[in-house]
Chain A
Amino acid sequence: MKKNILILSISLAVLSCEKTIEYEIPDEGQKLSITSTLTPNGADAAVGISKYALDNSTSTSLYALAEIFLFEGQTLVGQFNPRGDFGYLRYTLNQALDVDKIYTVKAYRPGYDTAFGSSFIPQRPTFELIDVDNQEGKIEFRINDPLITNDIYRIRLRYILDTDVNNYRFTTTDPTLEIYTNEEDDPLSLGDNERDARWAYLQDDLFSGGSKTITIDYFTRFLPPDASVFLEVTTLSVDRYEFLKSLDLLGPFDELNPFAEPIQVYNNINNGYGIVGGENSQRLRVFP
């Protein structure tokens, strides 16, 4: 298919011509970007500096030095500390945080506007395994949803090998699961209404205050023999969900396609870019 489109594009290109034009794209100036996640055990953050759309001379990498603070309302909760090179400069705040409270992350750097964003840590999810079939590669589990809040869940099947935690693809026929990471090239390998996923989201619109039973399938033969497999369910703040969803959509998006409507990565930072979001996870061991 891609080859056909390529050949067609080349045919059109024979007729087409192109030139560099002066087109004024406004420069919003350099701003701080923040990626920060709040959890009950603390918070982490990374800071970068944005650049103009046409700028090739500067980097946006997340090594920016900044002072980062966490506030609850006007009250300072603590300052993040740089923790070293993880491929980026990681700032952490190792301090227990309360669920359902709104926290604000602020980043200061001389010469830049103070960037800040707020979010909350949702309630810890409660779920239980109902049935696990390691031979068939099938897991049935139930999420028990609290009545009041509008909860958003992320479901991941993960395995631990040595100390590395990895995601493991699964499939589902449950239409209520939101999946933006389906990549199966061979649709015939899937059954009717079956979708594959690296992870899936679930909103409690239809079962708020009740419970929801979900079944997922996975291929057992591709799992490393010594791996420990977990099912992880995470509750997400709305900001975090919107951000993750937009990143998922960005994954397969072809920025070179001039006719596709571009994907705006979700942003809740004032005077800057990025995300402050909250999440709360629980893991249950599937096997061994």
Chain B
Amino acid sequence: MPKKLILLLLLFSSYLGYAQYHTISGFIEDSESGERLIGVTVFVPGTRYGTTTNTYGFYSLNVPLDTVELQISYIGYQTIKETIILDKDIKKDIILKESLEQLTEVEVYAEEIAAETPQMSTVDLSVKEIKKIPAFLGEVDIIRAIQLLPGVQSGGEGTTGFYVRGGSPDQNLVLLDGVPVYNASHLFGFFSVFNADAIKNVQLTKGGFPARYGGRLSSVLDIALKEGNMKEFHGEGSIGLISSKLTLEGPIWKDRTSFIISGRRTYYDLIIRPFLPDDVDAGYFFDDLNVKINHIFSRKDRLYLSYYGGNDKFFNEEDVNSLKQRQELTWGNNTASLRWNHLFNDKLFNNLTATFTEYEFRVGNQTEDFDFLGNKTSFSQDYFSGIQDVGLRSDLEYIPNTKHHLRFGASYTYHTFSPGAIEFEGNQDGELLDSILDLSAKLFSHDAYAYVEDDWMITQKIRGNIGLHYSVYNISGRTYNSLQPRASFRYLIDDLWSVKASYASMVQYVHLLSNTGLGLPTDLWVSSTEDIAPSQSQQIAIGTTRNFKGHVWETSVEAYYKNMDQLMEYKEGASYFSNVDWQSTVETGGNGRAYGIEFLVRKNKGQTTGWIGYTLAYTNRQFENLNEGRRFAYRYDRRHDVSVVVHHKFTDKIDMGLTWVFGSGIAFTAPLGKYSVLNSQGDVIQEVTRYSDRNAFRLPPYHRMDLGINFHKKTRWGRRTWNISVYNAYNRQNPFFLYITTPEFGGDDEVRQVSLFPIIPSFAYIFSF
């Protein structure tokens, strides 16, 4: 008993801290805009005492010293060094000035500390870096940038769906200001919904998930919106070939309240309108709107309100004689969050978030007809599906001493799934008819979790992040529980070299049904049900990071193994748009395995920067009723994936970017032969195709080079940039899909390859003031 007591006291004492420790804490913000900065490094050189600011720019450092020389550094900002006498706990808010040099020593320090964190498989990309990547049709895209990282693969030609370590796109949790975004694509996946001008920071976690994250198996893409300039009014925008955007930000009440509003719209529909016949109106457009307001009540309290709304709309209207017909496809997201930051004291920080998100897909057909007496008959039919969440979450951070950084919290979400309904409306001779038919009944579920994690400096060389994530999911009277342990450790070999390992158990309760894998709006979000168990995964990863030449070069190697259970897929031949409940169209209980090794070499400093990534990956699936129960390659099982990203600054006025990607061809099922059988009635001959094993063949490999060059100029009113980009610079005809067809003039069938995008030059005029 005394031994246990001593052990408990020892354990507890490590959380209580020591008498000679003092805490320095505060917020770090940008000098010009007042934006709070995420991931700023605050450390004491020559020691292991250091930390980084959280999502809200807050830091807290507890050190056992009387005097410290504090160094604060952040990518793209001037480093601050300040001597502080620590005779008591100190509140220290810090203002950082942007660096005029493109890349400075600042980055070196940032990298140095990044190597120290136990967190692995995580990549932070600043919007500045993303904007260096060549644009596609004048649009810089965040998810297209993410696809260039090792371990992340694109779905195919031009698409913004992404596949992380053998997982499917629905296994990625995409958060915009902490709110899940269910469909992150515009224009069938060619653009993402994220307007880079409104984004502050992007973080992708591929494995070793901290306990604060849950609900998806493969990755977390955490995107933070800008807060809005607290000091002065600014704007930026661009005019491109198919779209334009404008962002305005500024103070509503200087240093207290700010706003940012950002909009984007394509105008393909407006361009083609003059070329359409008089009786036809057709087109396509998408638009986005981001709005954010934040208000500082006091140093301890701050409120953020953010909204995102985005829509895609395809329409076709014909007016022939007395018959008027209109077809529409619309889909889009709405998300909103209200966040309250509260600082209880220098060691305890809380963020309370209320969230709302919805995604809806709708297909509409309307017909109006007039008879010779002028009586109107109208009929409309809408198919719609969607998902809607409302939730509340509290995330707390407690930093008792230098050795521990505790995070804990809880979340509750109420999901409403509408997996498919048809709404009819008719009007004949003044008689109204309307009806709604739920092809699949609406489902409602309760989704809650609680977590605790500790970033623990175990020794000077060993640091860990250990946590537990507990989730509960209730649907139709059935409750699923899950306790998911998470752990990641870092061993520091020397100041430049660390070895890391991690384990994460994840559970996913919502799933995306897709039989194209393209991220089409027709894909259907569905829930685990009383009959369909939630998906689970376990992932282990081990890696090493080594920096060279004073951190100018950064290299890393990571190997991973992921096992996934209770996966779901459409049955063979099943389609989203059928007259049956979705549950009868899916195969469940599948298993998936993914393993591979990722290499990254990155140059962080100098006129020329960029990275080369290579991934060797394997991923497969096994379902009892697919491929006769045999394990088969996942459609996006790409053996080799290479990405090269280079940015070169010639002068302050001219810079250019280049990307080159190579990926092994995606898997497909090939026809091998044909034969005839008698039909089920035994009276008609039916010729059927004999196919290979599922996904036994590969499309030709994918490779592409994009180029972009920017010409910058300062003007009287601000700054302008001409951007010229070339997508697919050497005009590679990459395979989108293959099909077999009979030649026009007879003979044996031939294999045809369809490619989407040839070489596409584009330009954009970008301005800021």
Contacts and interface: CB of A to CB of B under 8 A. Distances in A.
A87 B685 CA distance: 8
B652 interface: no
A12 B686 CA distance: 33
A261 B177 CA distance: 36
B20 interface: no
B689 A18 contact: no
Interface in A132-185: 167, 182, 184
B664 to A, nearest CB: 15
B383 A247 contact: no
B758 interface: yes
B673 A87 contact: no
A35 B683 contact: no
Given A247-B680, A250-B688, A19 B752 contact: yes
B676 A62 contact: yes
Contacts of A167: 681
A247 B686 contact: yes
A248 B516 CA distance: 22
B678 interface: yes
A30 to B, nearest CB: 9
Interface in B537-573: 570-573
B363 interface: yes
Interface of A: 1, 3-4, 7-8, 11-12, 15-23, 25-28, 31, 33, 35, 37, 44, 46, 48-57, 60-62, 86-88, 167, 182, 184, 187-188, 190, 195, 199, 243-244, 247-250, 252-253, 255-256, 258-265, 267, 273-275
Contact of B748 (A19, A55, A182, A252): A55
A252 B682 CA distance: 19
Nearest to B522: A5
Contacts of B573: 249-250, 252-253, 260-263
A50 B675 contact: yes
Contact of A16 (B683, B687, B691, B736): B736
19 contacts: A7-B314, A8-B188, A8-B314, A8-B329, A12-B188, A18-B752, A25-B672, A28-B690, A51-B673, A51-B674, A54-B749, A57-B748, A184-B579, A187-B437, A188-B424, A250-B686, A253-B573, A264-B691, A265-B690
B690 A273 contact: yes
A153 B386 CA distance: 37
A55 B284 CA distance: 41
Given A8-B329, A244-B680, A259-B516, A18 B754 contact: yes
Contacts of B753: 18-21, 23
For the complex of A and B, list the 10 residue pairs with the smallest distance between their C-beta atoms, beginning with the closest.
A50-B675, A259-B516, A258-B737, A33-B675, A23-B751, A54-B749, A35-B678, A53-B671, A48-B676, A60-B676
A169 to B, nearest CB: 14
A116 B733 CA distance: 45
A262 B580 contact: no
A4 B326 CA distance: 10
B740 A54 contact: yes
Given A20-B750, A261-B669, A263-B573, A88 B685 contact: yes
Contacts of B575: 260
B321 interface: no
Given A53-B740, A188-B424, A273-B690, A17 B755 contact: yes
B442 to A, nearest CB: 13
Given A18-B752, A261-B694, A273-B690, A1 B740 contact: no
Contacts of B740: 53-54
Contacts of A187: 422, 437, 439, 579
B677 A33 contact: yes
Contact of B679 (A190, A247, A256): A247
Contacts of A8: 188, 314, 329
A35 B677 contact: yes
Interface string B646-674: 00000000000000000000000111111
B672 A28 contact: yes
Contact of B435 (A37, A48, A188, A195): A188
B723 to A, nearest CB: 21
Nearest to B422: A187
B769 interface: no
B758 A258 contact: no
Contacts of B493: none
B253 interface: no
Contacts of A247: 677, 679-680, 686, 688
Contact of B733 (A19, A182, A261): A19
A4 B678 contact: no
Contacts of A22: 751
Nearest to B577: A1
Given A188-B424, A260-B575, A21 B749 contact: no
A167 B680 CA distance: 12
Contacts of B580: 182, 195
B700 interface: yes
Contacts of B733: 17, 19
B511 to A, nearest CB: 17
Contacts of B435: 188
Contact of B751 (A21, A190, A258, A274): A21
Given A1-B577, A61-B676, A262 B671 contact: yes
**Interface core residue of B573, B669, B685 (most chain A CB under 10 Å):** B573
B572 A25 contact: no
Contacts of A263: 572-573
Contacts of B571: 249
B750 A54 contact: yes
Interface string B585-629: 000000000000000000000000000000000000000000110
